[in-house]
């Protein structure tokens, strides 16, 4: 038996050298699919398409976007969590899908930590407080003062309490002692239409979804939610300049189903980071809204995710947003 086992092992090694290598060694030999939880034309979708165009050239295979919006990111995240861990299905994820959903829902059909392999951090996605360009509200302190004078009258649109934008709105309302009426909409697009139509006074939304309207002069950015002022928006103060300690920037990242071969994860990480350092890509991304953040390893991204879970979980408790 020992002699036969040795012969089988020798045969396997010979076949491997002859070109029958493990599947991950041949990756990719067909198109790669990247799932998004947002619709086509949204900020994350625009960033993903920019990145995936470059990724397709780098790996020599088409990289196809598969939009699965709805369910507060659950539909898209669940689809990837259940996909084969072979490197041919990836998830372009945001803060909500991988972190805050854990603290907003008692049950999820996926495990935000266990079901995904961190691949690469892509970009920071600043959120902002915006008003219609002709609004009499001149600044975030002005918005808070007006809401305090007339409690419940001034309205701040958002995507709902169980979204990242909704959490930001509640944190600002709570820490400023504002009396604003927080109005939930089914999507950021609907919220923006209501702002432009004069049906709400302000909106909390990501810059990726609102920057074009702001640059067109239809919306005015009052403040951003990052710790420091945002490149390209240096004239806009941060929320923390008025309410110290508030830092709630969204982000975008690439993950894969848990169990995806490490060689594939590392190849993707390397190629994505090579793209993010290219000035042309970084500039195009900034024009959309997010800020490219290259250089991180899968291990560093994993550590970041654990820190985000702890920090945002505490914020959810602070504003009384318990799982439902």
Q: What is the 3-state secondary structure (H, E, C) of the chain?
A: CHHHHHHHHHHHHHHHHCCCCCHHHHCCCCCEEEEECCCCCCHHHHHHHHHHHHHHHHHCCCEEEEECCCHHHHHHHHHHHCCCCCCCEEEEEEHHHHHHHHHHCCCCCCCCCCCEEEEEEEEEECEEEEEECCCCCCCHHHHHHHHHHCCCCCEEEECCCCCHHHHHHHHHHHHHCCCCEEEECCCHHHHHHHHHCCCCCEEEEEHHHHHHHHHCCCEEEEEECCCCCCCCCCCCCEHHHCCCCCCCCEEEEEEEECCCCHHHHHHHHHHHHHHHCCHHHHHHHHHHCCEECCCCCHHHHHHHHHHHHHHHHHHHHHCCCCCC
Residue range 156-213, pLDDT digits in tens? 999 888 788 999 999 999 999 988 999 999 888 899 999 999 999 999 999 888 988 9
Query: What does DSSP say about strands 63-67 and 219-224: parallel, antiparallel, or unpaired?
Result: unpaired
Measured distance CA(73)–CA(71) in Å, rounded: 5
pLDDT reading at 260 higher than 70: yes
Q: Assign 18 a pLDDT band (cuts: 50, 70, 90).
A: very low
31-124+249-318 shares its CATH topology with 127-241: yes
Domain boundaries, the chain: 31-124+249-318, 127-241
Residue with the bigger pLDDT between 71 and 67: it is 67
Q: How far apart are CA 46 and CA 247, in angstroms?
A: 24
Integer-rounded Cα Rg, in Å, for the chain is: 22
Asked if residue 21 has pLDDT above 70, the reply is: no
pLDDT of residue 231: 87
Percentage above 90 pLDDT, the chain: 73
pLDDT at 133: 96
Render pLDDT for 133-146 as a digit per residue (tens, 0 to 9).
Answer: 999 999 999 999 99
Q: Is the dihedral of CA 51, 56, 57, 59 positive or negative?
A: positive
pLDDT band for position 97 (50/70/90)? very high
Q: Sign of the C-alpha dihedral, residues 145, 150, 152, 155?
A: negative
Interior CA angle at 164 toward 288 and 230, to 5°?
Answer: 40
CA distances from 65 to 33, 45, 248, 260 (A): 6, 8, 27, 19
- Residue 87 scores a pLDDT above 90: yes
Peptide bond before 28: cis, by omega within 30 degrees of 0?
Answer: yes
For the whole prediction, is pTM greater than 0.75?
Answer: yes
Indicate the average pLDDT of the chain: 90
What pLDDT is attached to residue 23?
52
**Is it the case that residue 154 has pLDDT exceeding 80?**
yes
- Neighbouring residues of 31: CB distance < 8 A, sequence distance ≥ 6: 61, 62, 63, 64, 88
* Sheet with 89-94: strands ordered across: 63-67, 32-36, 89-94, 250-257, 116-125, 291-292
Q: What is the pLDDT of residue 204?
A: 96
76 or 11: which carries more pLDDT confidence? 76
Which of 55-59, 269-273, 289-293, 300-304 has the weakest average pLDDT? 289-293
* Fold (topology level) of 31-124+249-318: D-Maltodextrin-Binding Protein; domain 2 (3.40.190)
The pLDDT value recorded for residue 22 is: 53
Q: Give the CATH H-level superfamily of domain 127-241.
A: Periplasmic binding protein-like II (3.40.190.10)
Confidence of residue 37 (pLDDT cuts 50, 70, 90): very high
């Amino acid at each position: 038996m020992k002699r036969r086992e040795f012969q089988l092992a020798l045969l396997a090694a010979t076949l491997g050298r002859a070109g029958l290598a493990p599947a991950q060694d041949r990756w990719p030999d067909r198109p790669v699919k990247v799932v998004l939880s947002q619709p086509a034309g949204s900020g994350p979708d625009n960033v993903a398409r920019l990145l995936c165009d470059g990724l397709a050239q780098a790996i020599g295979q088409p990289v196809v976007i598969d939009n699965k919006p709805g369910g507060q990111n659950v539909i898209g995240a669940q689809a990837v969590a259940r996909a084969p861990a072979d490197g041919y299905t990836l998830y372009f994820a945001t803060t909500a899908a991988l972190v805050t959903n854990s603290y907003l829902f008692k049950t999820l059909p996926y495990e935000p930590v266990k079901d995904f392999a961190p691949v690469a951090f892509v970009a920071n996605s600043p959120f902002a407080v915006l008003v219609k360009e002709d609004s009499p509200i001149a600044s975030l302190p002005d918005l808070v003062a007006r809401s305090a004078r007339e409690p419940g009258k001034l309205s701040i649109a958002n995507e709902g309490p169980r979204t990242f934008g909704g959490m930001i709105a509640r944190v600002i309302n709570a820490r400023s002692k504002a009396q604003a009426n927080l109005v939930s909409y089914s999507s950021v697009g609907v919220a923006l239409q209501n702002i432009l139509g004069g049906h709400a006074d302000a909106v909390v939304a990501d810059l990726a979804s609102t920057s074009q309207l702001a640059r067109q002069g239809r919306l005015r950015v009052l403040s951003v939610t990052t710790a420091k002022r945002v490149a390209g928006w240096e004239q806009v103060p941060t929320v923390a300049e008025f309410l110290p300690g508030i830092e709630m920037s969204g982000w975008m990242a690439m993950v894969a189903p848990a169990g995806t071969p490490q060689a594939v994860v590392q190849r993707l990480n390397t190629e994505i980071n090579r793209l993010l350092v290219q000035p042309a890509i970084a500039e195009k991304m900034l024009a959309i809204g997010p800020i490219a953040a290259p250089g991180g390893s899968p291990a560093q991204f994993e550590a970041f995710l654990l820190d985000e879970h702890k920090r945002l979980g505490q914020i959810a408790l602070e504003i009384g947003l318990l799982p439902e």
